[in-house]
């Protein structure tokens, strides 16, 4: 039995991810070649933003943060977008030619000259458990979390606050999902007027049942369902517990069903290989599975400072491969370009905030940065599956 968890947009850690990624969007929308690393922390009534950036545009960091906080739903109470204190620690970096290039116009040699500036090992994973090529536990946990947010925004359950948690346990047999073992939903509410009994009935009817309506595996009579097992949670959010950017890496990726890098994804411009490399690894793994070369595939990319290409590419198919892992690795090396400038160019990563209304990276900050079917993510395409299979 394997469990994965997700959280809603109002969870303090996810709120920090959204603020940090909104800053990335805000800067790249006006200066696509800018460099930025932004980290956010929140507590009872305060927001702290630490950012290092090289940008040709001025940025009102507190304004961006307040806008995100209010849009998530924190408009009243101890912590809200209007009255919370915002402290910033900003460092403007000297301008470097290193980032001042348009990857769309680079020649092959120029792409090879753009080396990585930080060392990291990133992972990409894909499997056949869902239509999105994602592990079933994290897929279902995200689905429940989205639904929990939806019933609040649609005022189906108007007494809910933005903070919530979900967890789904799935029983496996021979690496195949067999049944739903357990479901946990924890919702916060604004006051004690709503009884725990009503909350549990409402969550079952408006969150859990609709979330599983179209799923092949549904809860059965033996499924253990926990709805606020410790009772009523009032207010929630930063007024109760603190948050920090990058503290939910498993939720951002594969729910710990597969490995993930220890580096945060949110709050970084895409020239940072610990962000873009994770997307490229997912792209390769998904195409391998889509090509039918394996039912599960994990792609590892190791980067070191001063080099453009990864120093190591490794593939693990957990015994599900139709051909050997070494042969799959050879095909990946032949058909995928993992150099940082090449990834930027193929996925158009520095220009997506300009082309997508409302920003791009902030949308990734909640409900997963891979496996999304609600956004046309370039690393979710399976356009190289036929090429891999034809070999």
pLDDT in tens, 80-132: 999 999 999 999 988 887 789 999 999 999 999 999 999 999 999 999 999 99
Calculate mean pLDDT across residues 228-235: 90
**Is 232 in the same domain as 276?**
no
**Is 125 in the same domain as 140?**
no
Looking at residue 391, its pLDDT comes to 75
Looking at residue 103, its pLDDT comes to 95
Q: Is the pLDDT of residue 192 over 90?
A: no
Q: Is the pLDDT of residue 359 over 90?
A: no
10 Å CB burial of residue 204 (0-12, 13-18, 19+) is: middle
Per the CB < 8 A criterion, the answer to whether 111 and 339 are in contact is: yes
Residue 358's pLDDT band, with cuts at 50, 70 and 90, is confident
Residue 243's pLDDT band, with cuts at 50, 70 and 90, is very high
Give me the residues paired with residue 89 across strands. 50
In a domain, 264, yes or no: no
Q: Cα separation of 335 and 98, whole Å?
A: 26
- Domain of residue 92: give its range: 12-100
Looking at residue 95, its pLDDT comes to 83
In a domain, 37, yes or no: yes
Looking at residue 97, its pLDDT comes to 78
10 Å CB burial of residue 15 (0-12, 13-18, 19+) is: buried
**Is 384 in the same domain as 281?**
yes
Q: What is the CATH number of the domain that holds 157?
A: 3.30.300.10
Interior angle at CA 362, CA 356 and CA 203, nearest 5? 115
**Is 26 in the same domain as 154?**
no
Q: What is the pLDDT of residues 48-63, one digit of tens each?
A: 999 999 999 999 999 9
Looking at residue 331, its pLDDT comes to 97
Question: How far from 386 is each of 110, 255, 287, 293, 379, CA to CA, in Å?
Answer: 29, 28, 9, 11, 16
Q: Is the pLDDT of residue 68 over 90?
A: yes
Tokens at 298, concatenated: 């994990």
**Is 229 in the same domain as 253?**
no
In a domain, 111, yes or no: no
**Is 207 in the same domain as 252?**
no
Tokens at 234, concatenated: 């009032």
**Is 252 in the same domain as 209?**
no
Domain count for the chain: 3
Calculate mean pLDDT across residues 36-46: 96
Question: How far from 379 is each of 113, 256, 283, 300, 341, CA to CA, in Å?
Answer: 23, 20, 5, 15, 15
Looking at residue 137, its pLDDT comes to 98
Q: Is the pLDDT of residue 275 over 80?
A: yes
In a domain, 115, yes or no: no
Q: What is the pLDDT of residues 324-354, one digit of tens each?
A: 999 999 999 999 999 999 999 999 999 999 9
Strand order across the beta sheet in which 46-54 lies: 85-92, 46-54, 35-43, 243-244
In a domain, 106, yes or no: no
Calculate mean pLDDT across residues 31-47: 96
Residue 144's pLDDT band, with cuts at 50, 70 and 90, is very high
**Is 204 in the same domain as 323?**
no
In a domain, 221, yes or no: yes
- Mean pLDDT (the chain, rounded): 96
Q: pLDDT > 70: what percent of the chain? A: 100
**Is 175 in the same domain as 282?**
no
In a domain, 322, yes or no: yes
Residue 202's pLDDT band, with cuts at 50, 70 and 90, is very high
Per the CB < 8 A criterion, the answer to whether 29 and 75 are in contact is: no
Looking at residue 155, its pLDDT comes to 96
**Is 298 in the same domain as 370?**
yes
Residue 245's pLDDT band, with cuts at 50, 70 and 90, is very high
**Is 64 in the same domain as 140?**
no
Residue 222's pLDDT band, with cuts at 50, 70 and 90, is very high
**Is 26 in the same domain as 89?**
yes
Looking at residue 262, its pLDDT comes to 87
Looking at residue 141, its pLDDT comes to 98
Choose among 137, 151, 219, 223: nearest CA to 187: 151
Looking at residue 384, its pLDDT comes to 97
Q: Cα separation of 209 and 362, whole Å?
A: 29
In a domain, 113, yes or no: no
């Amino acid at each position: 039995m394997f469990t994965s968890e997700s959280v809603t947009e109002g969870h303090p850690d996810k709120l920090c991810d959204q603020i940090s990624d909104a800053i990335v969007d805000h800067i790249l929308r006006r200066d696509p070649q800018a460099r930025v690393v932004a980290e956010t922390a929140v507590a009872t009534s305060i927001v702290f933003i630490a950012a290092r950036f090289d940008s040709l545009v001025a940025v009102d960091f507190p304004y961006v943060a307040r806008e995100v906080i209010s849009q998530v739903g924190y408009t009243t109470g101890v912590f809200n977008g209007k009255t919370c204190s915002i402290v910033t620690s900003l460092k403007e970096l000297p301008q470097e030619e290193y980032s001042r290039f348009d990857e769309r116009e680079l020649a092959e040699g120029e792409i090879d000259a753009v080396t990585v500036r930080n060392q990291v090992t990133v992972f990409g994973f894909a499997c056949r458990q869902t239509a999105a090529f994602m592990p079933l536990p994290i897929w279902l946990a995200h689905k429940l979390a989205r639904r929990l947010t939806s019933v609040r925004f649609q005022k189906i359950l108007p007494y809910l606050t933005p903070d919530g948690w979900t967890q789904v346990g799935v029983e496996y047999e021979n690496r195949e999902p067999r049944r739903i073992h357990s479901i946990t939903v924890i919702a916060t509410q604004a006051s004690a007027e709503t009884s725990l009994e009503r909350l549990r009935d409402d969550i079952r009817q408006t969150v859990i049942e609709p979330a599983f309506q179209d799923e092949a595996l549904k809860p059965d009579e033996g499924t253990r369902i926990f709805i606020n097992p410790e009772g009523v949670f009032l207010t929630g959010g930063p007024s109760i517990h603190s948050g920090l950017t990058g503290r939910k890496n498993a939720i951002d990726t594969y729910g710990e069903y597969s490995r993930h890098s220890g580096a945060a994804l949110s709050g970084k411009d895409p020239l940072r290989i610990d962000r873009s490399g994770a997307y490229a690894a997912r792209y390769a793994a998904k195409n391998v599975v889509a090509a039918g070369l394996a039912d599960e595939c994990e792609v590892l990319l190791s980067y070191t400072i001063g080099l453009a290409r990864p120093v190591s590419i490794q593939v693990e198919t957990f015994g599900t491969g139709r051909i050997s892992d070494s042969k799959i690795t050879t095909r990946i090396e032949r058909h995928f370009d993992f150099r940082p400038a090449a990834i930027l160019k193929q996925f158009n990563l520095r220009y997506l905030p300009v082309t997508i209304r409302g920003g791009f990276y902030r949308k990734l900050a909640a409900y997963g940065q891979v496996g999304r079917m609600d956004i046309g993510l370039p690393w979710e395409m399976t356009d190289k599956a036929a090429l891999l299979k034809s070999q």
